């Protein structure tokens, strides 16, 4: 199979290349050459810019194109229209963020997608990202009706993740000591290892699958407590968790998802279903998941290969975490009555 990947050198793209090569396919990458240009020296590379410089794609022919980096409908439309006669199938990597309402659990592919007040906007923000992805899906489908596979991943994690939203916890727990854990151990977690997602996408390409699929995981209930314990076990860390409740964190102005990754306050009813997405349709087609311990281990190995000066994109700063823990302990101690006969040791009350 001849595979064209738009992107292919940053995160999911590089795992797609590895998965496709491992299965014996012929690869071509199209990108600007600005990130890790020396990767995959034996793979054909075409240089250009999706925003107005697609000339290098003219005259080519592939079985499938995988679009890993489409965020603006106009740009996706241009790629899909140009390639409509050059490929059999268009695979668009979208996002579960397309959905209009995350207030309920078990959202499946039939749920309504979000809309923008101005469908011509091209500014990608936290509010516009999902609706823009939905418009990108529509643009690809309009250009190649019935030939598009729309993949809607949740939080993609693993080695080479540039967002640090998963890596923060792997790194932080490995450091040891007291770790601020948000919410409760029963909080739900949904993530998908980029390598599992890539392998599934390549296999879907091999059978020319089309339609819409949610793609997150795992295929069992993973909790925050399970995840943190796995991080501690894998890294042989002495970390001990202090579970800090949602109300305290909200009152302290802590930002969900980025400042504290994977955390969504239980009181936020508008997003309560974000980490409880239905993936039965993708699992039925063969989406599989490696053990979370393997993802944690490999992410930790990769993270330790980075410079100690690497600026992290997500997670609490050490001083902010210390400040929050101190305030939490002070409040907890103030709320705990002193009973006659108790011996005050000066040890904070850890809940």
Q: From its phi and psi, is residue 213 left (phi > 0), alpha (psi between -120 and 50) or beta?
A: beta
Which residue, 169, 268, 269, is CA-closest to 224?
169
Q: Report the b/e string of 211-227 with b at 16+ CB within 10 A.
A: ebbbbbbbeeebebbeb
Rounded Cα distance, 148 and 140, in Å: 7
Q: Report the b/e string of 58-80 with b at 16+ CB within 10 A.
A: eebebbbbbbbbbbbbebbbbbb
**How does strand 64-67 pair with strand 240-244?**
unpaired
Is the peptide bond preceding residue 218 cis, with omega within 30 degrees of 0? yes
From residue 186, alpha-carbon distances to 225, 228, 289, 343 in Å are 6, 11, 21, 32
Q: Report the b/e string of 104-116 with b at 16+ CB within 10 A.
A: eeebebebebbee
The DSSP 8-state label assigned to residue 270 in this structure reads G
> What's the alpha-carbon Rg for the chain, to the nearest Å?
22
Q: How many CB atoms lie within 10 A of CB 167?
A: 26
pLDDT in single tens digits along all 351 residues of the chain: 999 999 999 999 999 999 999 999 999 999 999 999 999 999 999 999 999 999 999 999 999 999 999 999 999 999 999 999 999 999 999 999 999 999 999 999 999 999 999 999 999 999 999 999 999 999 999 999 999 999 999 999 999 999 999 999 999 999 999 999 999 999 999 999 999 999 999 999 999 999 999 999 999 999 999 999 999 999 999 999 999 999 999 999 999 999 999 999 988 888 889 999 999 999 999 999 999 999 999 999 999 999 988 999 999 999 999 999 999 999 988 776 544 333 322 333 333
Domains of the chain listed by start with CATH number: 2-153 (3.40.50.720)
Count H helices, E strands: the chain? Answer: 10, 13
From residue 10, alpha-carbon distances to 163, 192, 251 in Å are 11, 17, 37
Rounded Cα distance, 297 and 45, in Å: 32
Give every CB contact of residue 226 below 8 A, 6+ residues apart in sequence.
189, 292
The answer to whether the beta carbons of residues 285 and 204 sit under 8 Å apart is: yes
């Amino acid at each position: 199979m001849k595979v064209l990947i738009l992107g292919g050198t940053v995160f999911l793209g590089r795992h797609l290349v590895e998965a496709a090569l491992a299965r014996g396919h012929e690869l071509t990458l199209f990108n600007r050459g600005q990130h890790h240009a020396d990767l995959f020296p034996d793979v054909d590379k075409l240089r250009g810019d999706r925003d107005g410089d697609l000339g290098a794609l003219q005259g080519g022919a592939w079985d499938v194109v995988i679009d890993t980096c489409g965020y603006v409908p106009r740009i996706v439309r241009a790629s899909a229209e140009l390639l409509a006669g050059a490929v059999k199938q268009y695979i668009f990597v979208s996002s579960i963020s397309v959905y209009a309402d995350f207030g309920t659990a078990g959202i499946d592919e039939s749920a309504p997608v979000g809309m923008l007040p101005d469908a011509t906007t091209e500014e990608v923000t936290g509010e516009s990202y999902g609706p823009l992805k939905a418009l990108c899906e529509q643009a690809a489908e309009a250009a190649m009706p019935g030939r598009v596979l729309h993949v809607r991943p949740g939080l993609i994690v693993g080695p080479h993740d540039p967002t640090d939203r998963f890596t923060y916890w792997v790194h932080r727990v490995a450091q040891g000591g007291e770790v601020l854990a948000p919410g409760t151990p029963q909080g739900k977690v949904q993530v998908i290892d980029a390598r599992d997602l890539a392998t599934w996408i390549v296999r879907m390409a091999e059978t020319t699958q089309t339609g819409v699929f949610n793609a997150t995981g795992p295929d069992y209930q993973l909790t925050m407590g399970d995840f943190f314990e796995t991080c501690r076990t894998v890294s042989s860390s002495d970390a001990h968790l202090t579970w800090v409740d949602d109300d305290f964190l909200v009152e302290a102005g802590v930002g969900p998802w980025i400042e504290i990754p994977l955390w969504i306050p239980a009181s936020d009813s508008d997003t309560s279903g974000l980490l409880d997405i239905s993936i039965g349709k993708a699992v039925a087609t063969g989406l599989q998941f490696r053990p979370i311990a393997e993802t944690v281990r490999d992410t930790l190995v990769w993270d330790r290969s980075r410079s100690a000066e690497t600026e992290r994109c997500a997670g609490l700063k050490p001083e902010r975490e210390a400040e929050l823990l101190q305030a939490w302990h002070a409040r907890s101690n103030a709320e705990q009555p002193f009973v006659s006969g108790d011996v005050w040791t000066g040890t904070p009350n850890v809940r």
